[in-house]
Amino acid sequence: MSENDFFIGWADETPRAERRFFLGSGLGLLAGTVAVAGGLAFWQKSPGLGTWNQGAVREWTGVITGQPYAMLRTLDIDGTPKTALLSCLGKCGVAARVGSLEGQSVVVKGSLIQRGKHAMIAVADGMDWIAPSPAAQQVDLTFPDVEPVGPVTLAGEILDSKCWFGAMRPSEGKVHKACAALCIRGGLPPAFYAKTTSGESALMIMTDGGLAHGEALLPFVADPVQVSGQARRWGDLLLLDGPVSAITRL
């Protein structure tokens, strides 16, 4: 046995065999950690592609409605008639604040929340977030008639539209259940994210007899459910109309 075959922690030099062992073990542990971290990240669900720049406050001109939820039909998003849902900066809707301006041309001050073709405007704080505006009358932005699509039975998840559009990520599943329930309780439009076994998906704004859903919807939020109802098209929005009694857990 040579004098270098025995490891002594306080010795001046670590034996060569131990140095090779420690170097190999360290590199192997580092590589394993990177591989595990990469694997976990790869299998995580995408948090979504929505965006919300709260500092980009501007004015949006269009026609407003408070039924079934607060919405603005405007050209100011992409140059074509587009419906933007409206919300406050927090977890609340603004349908009750539309008042006598229902169906009128207005200018709304707020910031855009957008995910793909879906849009919402988070209106500015204070009483001056909305004002009458004759400018919108230059183009016909009247909300179109609701068109029936037909009866459907869909599987998916009930979520709040504001967070899914981009206010928060992730915006679906159990990790978002409490937040989604608070948003919907506060008057934000509930949406149904339908998914098929073939990977297709669609987001539909939920109504009950053409009206806004109430708190009876809350127990089903963020859980896998099946909903039966009537699919309807309202301009560029897709609606799912049906009562809470038509919702079953999966």
Q: Would you list the DSSP string of the chain? A: --TTSS--TTSSS--HHHHHHHHHHHHHHHHHHHHHHHHHHHHSPP----EE-TT--EEEEEEEE-SSS-EEEESTTTSS-EEEEEE-SSS---GGGTGGGTTSEEEEEEEEEEETTEEEEEEPSSTTSEEE-GGGGGS--PPPPPEEEEEEEEEEEEEEHHIIIIISSS-SSGGGHHHHHHHHHTTPPEEEEEE-TTS-EEEEEEEBTTB---GGGGGGBTSEEEEEEEEEEETTEEEEE--GGGEEE-
248 vs 42, which has greater pLDDT?
A: 248
* Structure-block tokens of residue 172: 């679906």
Give the residue-averaged pLDDT of 202-224.
Answer: 94
100 vs 45, which has greater pLDDT?
A: 100
Please classify residue 142 by burial: count the beta carbons closer than 10 Å to its beta carbon, then call 0-12 exposed, 13-18 middle and 19+ buried.
middle
pLDDT surpassing 80 at residue 15: no
- The 10s digit of each residue's pLDDT in 103-158 is 999 999 999 999 989 999 999 988 789 999 876 556 678 899 999 999 999 999 99
